[in-house]
Chains A and B, each alone.
Chain A
Amino acid sequence: MDYSVAVIGGGLLGASFGWGLARRKIKTIVIDQGDNAIRSARGNFGLVWLQSKGVGMPEYARWTHQSTREWVAFSEELEATTGIGIHYDRCGGYILCLDDAMQEATERSMSTLMTSLGDHAYDCKSLNYAEVKEALPLVGKIAGATYSPHDGHCNPLNLLRALHKGFIMMGGKYHSNCTISSITPLSGGGFRVTDESTGTTFSAEKIIIAAGHGSAQLGTQVGLDIPIFPDQGQVLVTEKRGPVLRHPTNFVRQTDNGSFMLGPSSQKVGFNTDTNPEVLAEIARNCCTAFPFLSQIKIQRAWAALRIMTPDGFPVYQQSDEHSGAFSFACHSGVTLASTHALQVPKWIEQGAIPKQYEAFHPRRFHV
């Protein structure tokens, strides 16, 4: 076998798995597409976020909570070894509610979630307008917010860069500009992977499909059903300003270089990565309601990216029944989950199985 593990996909998931595997001294290759692939990892907002996650699936809330706990040590190790600043700040985050209806819905949702978590409920409270105004003096006239000290943000592009750099520093092999045409299970175990663009092949004992939107087609070759579809999100980035907003919010966050990122949006437009000015205008309106000072700030650039969305929005993790060395992972929270993807998942791969407690993430939940 050329490699112990082949990771197909070099975005936030693939790079996290690769880094974690190389860290465990497992001989790994990460295979990536080229520049003009969909590359959802580029569209990321940068939140490392716990609040509101897992309504309807407490396992996901617990998994996310574990991720946010492991993020500090994870980012410190990445920074120390690669010299690339991740700028992780776990300062607490706010879900701003622009009107009463949103405030009620958000509070209800939070209460349902905490109930379902029982002993695993975490620190999260709701605030009225006066309380939000005291915490965030620049906020506009909104209904209120919910706040959790577990939330934070980072520089997602630097995160991806650092994972790639660290992976290579630890001896990982990285191939880009590839198009995987086939993954063939070998009779003695293991898989043969063929890169269509160069015609080269290599073998690996285990494979992880973490190819974002390209995963479904690859999954069929090793008996994995990966039910994902694109959910388009658009983002605005503004010119840089001196730091005035430390805490990330659901609509706006200020990055480490001073620019503001504005979102979110969600559209079902297939694999379309074109921005839509009407959607952007709505983002702008919401963000100006949240923070009126933004109205005079210039927009630097805008883009659209395709979230990897599953039918219920929760991750899909699975191992093939037919070929036990084949795994697939798909989710839309590649930044928040980067720590556990890097520190926990490689252990599972090494042991050869996804632990039973993560059964909830198996896509058979959709076949009820």
Chain B
Amino acid sequence: MFKRSMPMLDPVSFFFNEKVIVANKNDTVAAALLAAGITTFSLGTNEKTHRAPVCMIGNCFECLVEIDGQSNQQACLIEVSANMNVKTQYGLVLVKDLLESNMKNSKND
């Protein structure tokens, strides 16, 4: 959908669904994912509705992803950071999974 019109001055790499993506410092997660060709950010609570960003400024909530174990994160309002763990948000994340992935993430600190 989108491509970079200038070179990345300050590359930052993070994970999307366990794959490495390189972005530029200060890119929002939404910008980084769009530049990497991602078209589905979440599959909605019915696990069927594909959603991707629309407004880019925090109003539409179509850019929700899971970041470092937290669901319902607005990708257009959060800047990428090194080794950030981003995932497609898929349905309703169970609280139990949230607790487990938090434990996993904190072990990596």
A and B touch in the complex (CB under 8 A): yes
Q: Is B60 an interface residue, CB under 8 A from the partner?
A: no
Complex interface bits, A226-260 against B, C-beta within 8 A gives 1, otherwise 0? 00000000000001111110000000000001100
**Chain B residues near A138 (CB, 8 Å)?**
95
Q: Is the CB of B95 within 8 A of A242?
A: yes
A258 vs B47: C-alpha distance in the bound complex, in angstroms? 14
Given A239-B72, A296-B70, A298-B72, answer yes or no on A258-B92 (Cβ-Cβ < 8 Å): yes
- Is there a chain B Cβ closer than 8 Å to A202's Cβ? no
Within 8 A of A (CB), among B63-80: 70-72
Given A258-B45, A298-B72, verify A240-B98 contact (CB < 8 Å): no
Binary A-proximity of B85-99 (CB < 8 A = 1, otherwise 0): 000000111111111
Residues of A within 8 A of B45 (CB): 240, 257-258
Q: How far is the CA of A243 from the CA of B91 in the complex (A)?
A: 12
CB distance from A300 to the nearest CB of B (A): 9
Q: Is the CB of A242 within 8 A of B72?
A: no
* B72:A293 contact, CB within 8 angstroms: no
Q: A258-B45, A293-B99 are in contact. Are A244 and B94 (CB under 8 A)?
A: yes
Contacting residues, chain A, for B96 (C-beta < 8 A): 244
Q: Interface readout for A291-302 with B: 1 if CB under 8 Å, 0 if not?
A: 001001110000
Closest approach, in angstroms, between the C-beta of A257 and any C-beta of chain B? 8
Q: How far is the CB of B97 from chain A (nearest CB, A)?
A: 8
User: Which chain A residues lie closer than 8 Å to B99 at the CB level?
Assistant: 293
How many angstroms from the CA of A240 to the CA of B102 in the assembled complex?
18
Separation of A173 and B26 alpha carbons in the complex (Å): 60
Q: Mark B29-71, 1 if CB is under 8 A from A, else 0.
A: 0000000000000000100000000000000000000000011
Q: Which residue, of A243, A257, A296, has the highest number of chain B Cβ atoms within 10 A?
A: A296
Q: Which of A239, A242, A298 contacts B94 (CB 8 A)?
A: A242
Question: For the complex, what is the distance from the CA of A257 to the CA of B44, rounded to whole Å?
Answer: 13
Which positions 294-348 of chain A face chain B at CB distance < 8 Å?
Answer: 296-298
Q: Say yes or no: B95 contacts A244, CB within 8 Å.
A: yes
Q: Which residues of A contact B95 (CB under 8 A)?
A: 138, 241-242, 244, 293, 297
1/0 contact trace for B4-47 toward A, CB 8 Å? 00000000000000000000000000000000000000000100
The closest CB in chain A to the CB of B92 belongs to A242
Expressed in whole angstroms, the Cα–Cα distance for A69 and B97 within the complex equals 37
| Inter-subunit contact B70/A241 (CB<8 Å) | no
CB nearest to B73 among chain A residues: A298
Knowing A293-B98, A293-B99, A296-B98, the reply to whether A240 touches B92 (Cβ < 8 A) is yes
* Chain B residues closer than 8 Å to A241, beta-carbon distance: 71, 92-95, 98
The residue on B at minimum CB distance from A300 is B72
What is the CA–CA distance of A145 and B71 in the complex, to the nearest angstrom?
Answer: 31
Residues in B neighbouring A240, C-beta threshold 8 A:
45, 92
CB distance from B41 to the nearest CB of A (A): 16
Chain A residues, CB < 8 A from B97: 242
**How many Å lie between the Cα of A297 and that of B45 in the bound state?**
15
User: Using Cβ atoms and an 8 Å threshold, which residues of chain A touch B98?
Assistant: 241, 293, 296
Q: What residue in chain B is nearest A292 (Cβ atoms)?
A: B99
Residues in A whose Cβ lies below 8 Å from that of B94: 241-242, 244
CB-based nearest A residue for B96: A244
A240, B96: Cα distance in complex, Å: 14
A132 to chain B, nearest CB (A): 17
Q: List 27 A-B contacts (CB under 8 A).
A: A138-B95, A239-B71, A239-B72, A240-B45, A241-B71, A241-B92, A241-B93, A241-B94, A241-B95, A241-B98, A242-B91, A242-B92, A242-B94, A242-B95, A242-B97, A244-B94, A244-B95, A257-B45, A258-B45, A258-B92, A293-B95, A293-B98, A293-B99, A296-B70, A296-B102, A297-B95, A298-B72
Question: Which 9 pairs, one residue from A and one from B, show the smallest C-beta to C-beta distance?
Answer: A242-B94, A242-B92, A244-B95, A258-B92, A293-B95, A239-B72, A241-B92, A298-B72, A240-B92
Given contacts A241-B92, A244-B94, 17 further A-B contacts (CB under 8 A): A138-B95, A239-B72, A240-B92, A241-B93, A242-B91, A242-B92, A242-B94, A242-B95, A242-B97, A243-B92, A244-B95, A257-B45, A258-B92, A296-B70, A296-B98, A296-B102, A297-B95
